[in-house]
Amino acid sequence: MNEFFVAVGLGLCLLVFLVLYRVIFGPGVFNRIAAISAIGTKTLIILLVFGYVYNRVDMFIDISMVYALLNFIGSIAAAKYLEMER
């Protein structure tokens, strides 16, 4: 069963690299911010999957909660900054 979750984690890492293309070559700033937020969400899922693989889900849940909070605050800060630019 662990092999399945490792494969899921590696698949999600591949998806992160696909979204990273949108961050680098995105058509606009708003699409880039949305892509960065999507990368943060996929990273949360990868953390939880690896927490299950290492049988330390409780520790990885704490780490992912802090990372989710930082991702949310970063998205809000970028949106506020872009709102002030207009």
**When comparing pLDDT for 57 and 82, which is higher?**
57
* This prediction's pTM: 0.82
Better-predicted residue by pLDDT, 31 or 82: 31
Question: What are the C-alpha distances in Å from 8 to residues 11, 26, 48, 49, 85?
Answer: 5, 26, 11, 8, 40
Amino acid at 79: A
Structural domain for 73, as ranges: 2-85
Contact yes or no for 68/44 (Cβ under 8 A): yes
- pLDDT for 84 equals 77
The answer to whether residues 12 and 49 touch, using CB atoms and an 8 Å cutoff, is yes
> How many domains would you assign to the chain?
1
